[in-house]
Amino acid sequence: MYYNKEYFRQFAPKIRMSEENLDLLEGFMPRFSPEEAGSIARYLVDPSIPSAEKRERMEKLAEEENGGIYCVLIYMAAAGYTHEKYREKGMPDEVFYNTFNCLPEKMETHKKHFGIWGNVAPTWPISHLNMTLFRIGRLGYAFVPAPHEPLLAGEKVLAAEKEPYVYMHISDNEKLVGCAESIQEARAFFRKFYPEYGDCLYMTNTWLLDPRLGEILPEESNIMQFQKIFNIYDRYDCRPEVLKRVFGAEKENLDAYEPSSSLARAVIAYLKSGKELGRGLGYTKF
Ligand SMILES: CC(C)(COP(=O)(O)OP(=O)(O)OC[C@H]1O[C@@H](n2cnc3c(N)ncnc32)[C@H](O)[C@@H]1OP(=O)(O)O)[C@@H](O)C(=O)NCCC(=O)NCCS
């Protein structure tokens, strides 16, 4: 029902997918008949099927040549069914389209880092399709339902086993601005549609919260301003993650990189000086 060029053409600009991406996807459409694509798409949004099983199926598809792109084709069609559910709940189209920006986002990141089209996160949109992850403004918000392992900051319990919380995602390829506004909007959205997630803990674990970035970035940079939104309660070394986020992939020889920004140059100099970088964990101040 949604696996057709007409639907793709009207959907793509709303999720900020470029003409170039759309043309590419259309070129791969013959891989699936509308019946086959429709059946996989309906399977992906079926709430009775566990997410792990859905991920496994899409991982297999991603292993095919052009697999990342084949997955995007299916997600484009599956999003149509998710949109029906948004409408049933009276949720704003703006949130729906912003959430599905995850499709072009991960294609563009692949192109940026590897020079060819692909998809750096082939199974990620399963959460978006099943309405457990929403992008609101600049940031993404994923539900962590209870019960879960208690979330601890040292001795302090941030979220006990029975308290649901929200894990925040920072999407790629757009300046890191408007984050405080995004959190306020997200809380308002969840208070209305998922009240248990309106006033709970919002946290994240990302290289952008490593306090050591303060040694190499100016205070007015977006990343350092972003850090101010959080109580950062822990950090750990994770050089591969930082190299992946800055350069796309980890290389053992730091001289093999060609840094193209002040941050990229500073990261190399910092690591060469014998220091380490990694991830920080933080929860929002409001
Ligand atoms: C998050 C992100 C958008 C922040 O970018 P930003 O808004 O430009 O951040 P800042 O203003 O603090 O950047 C300061 C400088 O570092 C550069 N910079 C920031 N992030 C960079 C990155 N990932 N790689 C290389 N350089 C980067 C900026 O271009 C700027 O350089 P300049 O002064 O030479 O212009 C960017 O890092 C990004 O796209 N990262 C990849 C995705 C990611 O990390 N997601 C989080 C997953 S947990």
Domain at 275, CATH number: 3.40.630.120
| One domain, residues 217 and 167 | yes
| One domain, residues 83 and 171 | no
| One domain, residues 20 and 123 | yes
| One domain, residues 117 and 169 | no
| One domain, residues 98 and 207 | no
Distance 186 CA to ligand 1 centre (A): 23
Contacts of 49 (CB under 8 A, 6+ apart): 43
| One domain, residues 126 and 5 | yes
Residue to mutate (ligand 1; options 112, 221, 258, 281; most atoms within 8 A of CB): 221
Whether ligand 1 lies within 6 angstroms of the CB of 281 is answered as no
| One domain, residues 60 and 114 | yes
| One domain, residues 39 and 121 | yes
Whether ligand 1 lies within 6 angstroms of the CB of 223 is answered as yes
Q: How confident is the model at residue 248 (pLDDT cuts 50, 70, 90)?
A: confident
| One domain, residues 278 and 175 | yes
Number of domains in the chain: 2
What is the predicted pLDDT for the residue at 186? 98
State how far the Cα of 99 lies from the Cα of 136, in Å rounded to an integer.
7
Q: Give the chain's mean pLDDT.
A: 96
Domain that holds residue 280: 132-286
**131-151 confidence digits (pLDDT tens):** 999 999 999 999 999 999 999
Token code pair at residue 141: 């918000």
Whether ligand 1 lies within 6 angstroms of the CB of 218 is answered as no
What is the predicted pLDDT for the residue at 249? 86
Contacts of 137 (CB under 8 A, 6+ apart): 98, 178, 179, 181, 182, 185, 186
Whether ligand 1 lies within 6 angstroms of the CB of 175 is answered as yes
Strands 202-206 and 165-170, how do they pair?
A: parallel
What is the predicted pLDDT for the residue at 48? 98
| One domain, residues 175 and 221 | yes
Whether ligand 1 lies within 6 angstroms of the CB of 221 is answered as yes
State how far the Cα of 195 lies from the Cα of 96, in Å rounded to an integer.
18
What is the predicted pLDDT for the residue at 65? 79
**227-245 confidence digits (pLDDT tens):** 999 999 999 999 999 999 9
Q: Residue 242, SS3?
A: helix
pTM of the entire structure?
Answer: 0.96
Residue to mutate (ligand 1; options 110, 228, 261, 268; most atoms within 8 A of CB): 261
Name the residue with the closest Cα to ligand 1, atom 10. Answer: 222
State how far the Cα of 146 lies from the Cα of 162, in Å rounded to an integer.
5
Residue to mutate (ligand 1; options 203, 222, 267; most atoms within 8 A of CB): 222
Instruction: Please determine, for residue 67, whether its predicted confidence score (pLDDT) is greater than 80.
Output: no
Q: State which of 97, 131, 165 marks the end of a domain.
A: 131
State how far the Cα of 198 lies from the Cα of 8, in Å rounded to an integer.
33
What is the predicted pLDDT for the residue at 112? 87
Q: State which of 114, 131, 148 marks the end of a domain.
A: 131
Whether ligand 1 lies within 6 angstroms of the CB of 170 is answered as yes
**18-65 confidence digits (pLDDT tens):** 999 999 999 999 999 999 999 999 999 999 999 999 999 999 999 987
| One domain, residues 48 and 141 | no
Atom of ligand 1 nearest to the CA of 223: 12
Instruction: Please determine, for residue 129, whether its predicted confidence score (pLDDT) is greater than 80.
Output: yes
Alpha-carbon distances of 69 from 19, 88, 109, 115, 118, rounded to whole Å: 15, 29, 13, 15, 6
Q: State which of 80, 112, 131 marks the end of a domain.
A: 131
| One domain, residues 148 and 285 | yes
**182-218 confidence digits (pLDDT tens):** 999 999 999 999 999 999 999 999 999 999 999 999 9
